[in-house]
Structure 1
Amino acid sequence: MDVPAITLAGWVRVLWRGALFGGVVYGCLAILLMVRVVERPLFGLRRPWTPWITQFVCKSAFVILRLPLVVRGRVMRQRGAVVANHVSWLDIFALNAAQRGYFVAKSEVEHWAAIGWLARATGTVFIARKGAEAKKQQAVFEERLRAGHHLMFFPEGTSTDAVRVLPFKSTLFAAFWSHGLEEVMWIQPVTLAYRAPAGCDPRFYGWWGDMEFAGHLLMVLAQGRQGRVEVVFHDPVPVDAFPDRKALAAHCEAEVRRGLEGRL
């Protein structure tokens, strides 16, 4: 998809939205880091305070962009993880605005300029794609899940064009079949549905392939009349209701795919 040319009015929106957005993100990051200095020695892995700051920032992002965010369904109360389709960098804000949790991201993200720093500060779990790291990663997952964290990840493994769901990879689901975790863990499928602005390409909010982050960010900031984002929470399911990770991944994929088709 070609990024449309930005008009003069669009550049004005880029400047004021970008300044406000950056001020909120980095201003609240400074507050979060100060709160974490007290929170960490008192609660360790548990974070009873700082996720509220993250959620405030993410809700504010949609207000600044004037992009309506609609949340349907209920966030699960059980211990476990959320799995969703992956459309754009906006997914991070949408899911964190709708609930308080911690993302699972590829290890490369940790070293991205600005984004890696934010991800580390907000408690993101970084994973390597090397097989040798599997045991270590599983131990990290266990530790975070037993601490009561809701982990959030994208089983497609990459972002898409907003109008389709790619097959879910079952690899990450294996972490829930270890040391009895399957007996206490639940998984909640979530559909992220983006409706493009009137008259725009249906894939407007999709960020995929070789699209540059900066160009896509500018396009969204410049847009006058935005579309809409829907976060649909499906019914959570217990991990031990499925014979293996592949069956669980297939169920989650079907729920997310059904949710997207219903919204489109």
Structure 2
Amino acid sequence: MTSVRLALRLLRLSLVLVLGGLLGGLISLLERLRGAEQPALRQRLTRWFMARLSNALPYRLRITGQLPEQPMLWVANHVSWADIPLLGQLTPLSFLSKAEVRSWPLAGWLAHKAGTLFIRRGAGDSQWLNQQLQRYLKDGRPLLLFPEGTTHDGSTLRTFHGRLLSSAIELQIPLQPVAIRYLHRGQPCSLSPFVGDDDMLSHLLRLLRGEVRDVEIHLLPPLCSRGLNRNQLARQAQQVIGNALYGERDEQAAAAA
């Protein structure tokens, strides 16, 4: 039974990925013909693709809260690569991702075609990235970043780094905090986190072999960035996301690495 389930899920996922490749090629062709990037088109097609990709994964989704009515800088806790399609289906979004993702087979190419901004750890390119983030936000294109900087097992939050929140402060654009939680039979899911030395293919196959898991996405009230510095804003975002995930427990424990 497990092998049949795996085969069917792999077939469905493969068809979705082929569709994603065709969409990426279509975007490239249209931009070549028009002689310019089409960011709004990229975001709309990416959202459509993310919805199909999410449906091909063994997750049952529950969303609480309201989608923002204006472009914002989104911030979320980071548990798995699956965060991206699950969040990306909610609204047209662009993502900030670690540079290693660009080299992933197919997934990296699709992320590039979706308009993802890639960041190199320790490369000292924060100023350039903030300029790019400001450009996106000024153009009315919402962005999502993971201020923890890496994935974790979901049991705690890592420290939120504020260095990439300057764009929201300088443009006086609110922050949209999002809390994402993976559950299995009402308990924290140990299979969903993508951490350590795990590779994406092995992790994906384990997911596809397993039972359907639950995912909760909490769209929390926006945070005003006016009058704050980036570290204050990062701490506020960490606190509200931590409270949504773990309740009013000791903030220091929730923020532990």
Q: So what's the TM-score if we normalise by structure 2?
A: 0.86
RMSD: 2.3
1:66 positional shift: 4.3
- Aligned partner of 2:213 in structure 1 is 227
Q: Is the 8 A contact 1:62 1:68 kept in 2?
A: no
Q: Which moved more, 1:48-57 or 1:249-258?
A: 48-57
Match of 1:247 among 232, 246, 249: 232
- Separation of aligned partners in 1, 2:209 and 2:37: 39
Partner secondary structure for residue 48 of structure 1: helix
Partner secondary structure for residue 59 of structure 2: coil
Q: Which moved more, 1:122-131 or 1:93-102?
A: 122-131
- The equivalences for 1:194-209 within 5 A come to 194-197=182-185, 202-209=189-196
Q: Which moved more, 1:227-236 or 1:32-41?
A: 32-41
- Aligned partner of 2:242 in structure 1 is 257
1:46 positional shift: 5.3
- The equivalences for 1:1-264 within 5 A come to 9-35=1-27, 37-38=29-30, 44=36, 47-177=39-169, 180-181=170-171, 183=172, 185-197=173-185, 202-224=189-211, 226-242=212-228, 244-262=229-247
Give the AA of the match of 2:181.
A
1:44 positional shift: 4.9
1:122 positional shift: 0.6
Give the AA of the match of 1:60.
R
- Aligned partner of 1:6 in structure 2 is none
Partner secondary structure for residue 65 of structure 1: coil
Q: Which runs of 5+ in 2 are unaligned?
A: 248-257
Q: Is the 8 A contact 2:129 2:164 kept in 1?
A: no
Q: Deviations over 1:91-129 (max 9, x none)?
A: 011111222201101222222222210110111011223
Give the AA of the match of 1:230.
E
Q: Is the 8 A contact 1:138 1:175 kept in 2?
A: yes
- Separation of aligned partners in 2, 1:195 and 1:96: 19
- Separation of aligned partners in 2, 1:71 and 1:126: 27
Q: Which moved more, 1:155-164 or 1:32-41?
A: 32-41
Q: Which runs of 5+ in 1 are unaligned?
A: 1-8
1:241 positional shift: 4.2
Q: So what's the TM-score if we normalise by structure 1?
A: 0.84
- Separation of aligned partners in 1, 2:34 and 2:66: 30
Give the AA of the match of 1:209.
G
1:195 positional shift: 0.8
- Separation of aligned partners in 2, 1:131 and 1:89: 22
- Separation of aligned partners in 2, 1:26 and 1:20: 10
Give the AA of the match of 2:199.
E
Percent identity of equivalent pairs: 26
- Separation of aligned partners in 1, 2:50 and 2:85: 5
Distance 1:132 1:35, change over 3 A: closer
- Separation of aligned partners in 2, 1:237 and 1:208: 29
Q: Is the 8 A contact 1:14 1:222 kept in 2?
A: yes
Q: Which moved more, 1:39-48 or 1:252-261?
A: 39-48
Distance 1:201 1:106, change over 3 A: closer
Q: Deviations over 1:54-76 (max 9, x none)?
A: 22332223433342111111121
Q: Deviations over 1:194-221 (max 9, x none)?
A: 11247x8732211112223222111111
Distance 1:35 1:135, change over 3 A: closer
1:137 positional shift: 1.9
Q: Is the 8 A contact 1:14 1:221 kept in 2?
A: yes
- Separation of aligned partners in 2, 1:188 and 1:43: 33
Partner secondary structure for residue 79 of structure 2: coil
